[in-house]
Structure 1
Amino acid sequence: MEKIMIIDMPNHVGETVKIGAWLANKRSSGKIAFLQLRDGSGFVQGVVVKSEVDEDIFATAKAMPQETSMYVIGEVTKDERSSFGYELQVKGIEVIQEAVDYPITPKEHGVEFLMDNRHLWLRSRKQHAIMKVRNEIIRSTYEFFNDQGFVKVDPPILTGSAPEGTSELFHTKYFDEDAYLSQSGQLYMEAAAMALGKVFSFGPTFRAEKSKTRRHLIEFWMIEPEMAFTEHEESLKVQEEYVSYIVQSVLKNCKLELERLERDTSKLENIKAPFPRITYDEAIEFLHEKGFDDIQWGDDFGSPHETAIAESYDKPVFIVNYPIGIKPFYMQPHPERDDVVLCADLIAPEGYGEIIGGSERIYDYNLMKQRIEEHGLDEKAYAWYLDLSRQGAVPHSGFGLGLERTVAWISGAEHVRESIPFPRLLNRLYP
């Protein structure tokens, strides 16, 4: 008989099959045992009828503890009552290993307990669904950029300088030199764009930022495209098309997962390009009208400010042209103003904050050299990057999308720590 995955059951209706599974939960009456089975690809109910199986099989079904691993033999049947639409009429059970005192039961548990047991919490229905959404965002990201003619490039994780000139870096020794864990692959991606035209990276980044908000992680993953011969407005179009694409892909391919997460999909169905745009100046004016007297022109926005702005829209919103003083050294100045730069942050709806930061990049050698000096950066450390602006420099733009914030928004997770398999937080390096 054929061994299959749960996700493949719709192709085997009426057939007797074998699956490897874990027992997620169970309930039973005197004559029937209902086994909630999972195998990583999905969840299905296995029905064990006492009168239709050997006595020892029924006894095993009733006695198995949660998370016992097994092989199950049964007939695939349709079940219109379940969201999956199918169930397994169990004929045989072969126990592989009985779980011992599995700590995460169907009852409520505290967050710290669940985080301590993250290696097991991942097995739960909700966490399983979030990871499937994450996977679909990654899959559709590759699909989008490959279809658009981008080349995947892998920047280094160990670097000798900070892309954004910040001190919030993890320091290490690289033999007899100082090195840092990368906070962005952007500068290297700019070099790659000068060779390959349109490139993107996908990899881990690290921020030694002592923040405990629901939007922050110490280690997270970034998608960072860079595009040669591309100006700011053209980059914004790519950004909104990309975000629209991944949202619609999740809606199409993760219906069961979104249902399990009780996600209001009507809010996601509306996420289609183009997205609204407001300037930083307009955002400041709007916030003052809403009573945010703490924010002044020249200040960066905090979570309450971004949330207030986002609540006025049912799509992500671009905030463009931030003050030059609060943005990194590499951003191209606005052609008509010397106090703002050609940049944009994309703010997600529903209070999830900034998911993309991007800009047109400086490509004039003298201006880049001046900006490096103004930011007090070591010119020797940035010599290779500065070299790009005098070796056939061209207008170019790029952006970075934070994967975990995007996963949290699309899946409706309450905290970004649920959007990565093993989160690294300010006070958590275990498990």
Structure 2
Amino acid sequence: MSITAAEYRSRREQLMAKIGQGTAIFRSAPLSVMHHDVEHPFRQDSDFYYLTGFNESQAVAVLAPHHKEHRFILFVQPKDLEKETWTGYRVGVEQAKDQFGADVVYPIAEFNEKLPQYLKDADRIYYHLGRDKAFNNTILQHWQNFIAIYPKRGRGPIAIEDTNPTFHPQRQVKSPAEIELVRKATAISVEAHNRAMAFAKEGLYEYQVQAEIEHTFRLQGGLGPAYPSIVASGANACILHYIENNRQLQNGDLLLIDAGCCYDYYNGDITRTFPIGGKFTKHQQAIYELVLAAQLKAIEEVKPGKPYNEFHDIAVCVLVQGLLDFGLLQGNLEEIIKEEKYKPFYMHRTGHWLGLDVHDAGVYQQGEDTWQNLQPGHILTVEPGIYIAPNIKPAEGQPEVPEEWRGIGVRIEDDLLVTPQGHEVLTAGVPKSVQEICH
């Protein structure tokens, strides 16, 4: 279960067809982060990996469709026995050419020397200015050099264009092979969540539940967590990105778990909320059933041709109506939504793209009022929630929140594949009905 060399080549060909006379440059992720001589795991840049499958740092990929000999050029670290003894094997220049399908491979030290030959006949440079400021400056310097000689040559790159608008729509629509990798990531994530739901009980610590989840990820062949696992009990569930995971579980707590597995760089992303001890309180169950109703309604809106915002909008309508029914909001539903007076309870969007990145590449809107339409091959999350923090401050003109509602946090999240007929819930294997999660 992996992406073939033919698919990587097809991806490059698709992009080169779009850039025409341009030259595109992609930089690998920086070296692993070092803290006091301890090396933390390396994670390749997703754009670079999508186009090459090459998983080493200090590398650059260049696509030059106009070049007569070399259309796909790689710059990599050369073999170095002494350094490899300390930091791991390198593919090296010679092997990279055959293994990754490049027309030519150079040592990374030759980048500045060799790059101009792939820029001189280009009409523009496609490059995303990222966090590597030194490399950004290198590309800008090459561009400035060509600008300086343009009056004499009358050709060469006179513009720099961000790769993302041209390239990321390609990443947004998943191939059959990518879908299978997400299926694997979500299947492992499902197993981990089910293990956690069976394991969690009064007296354990949040980190012990986290350990069970992440043990399952690695045991089943995953690279580890797709993002820092959130295991949030009690009022901690009202903190959206809570990761301390150090509180002891108490009977009657709600436990919110937001965790997903990364498998061959593709990701799952699931959230479930359930009561420790198997029974909701009256107010916990009211909020839980409201969030679940909002999620189920939102999921119904996920189908080809639907604007991306519609499943969020329907979730907000359901949540706001429920909060009105509970007396936690007051006023006109449409006005509350327009003025965003529900935001103290629900402050995030209802989903995001999912794939090589947890918040995957691709736009959501195209202009002020035009949303991206869903299409087969899109993968996204649907994750409404309600968070009633102990110190919640209602919006202006809204009632104070009674004590019995405070400290309740609920989120329910599934991963969906848009299909030609509608959608498939990839994470349906984790229970979420009240009947299934209570005992």
The TM-score, its normalising length taken from structure 2, stands at 0.25
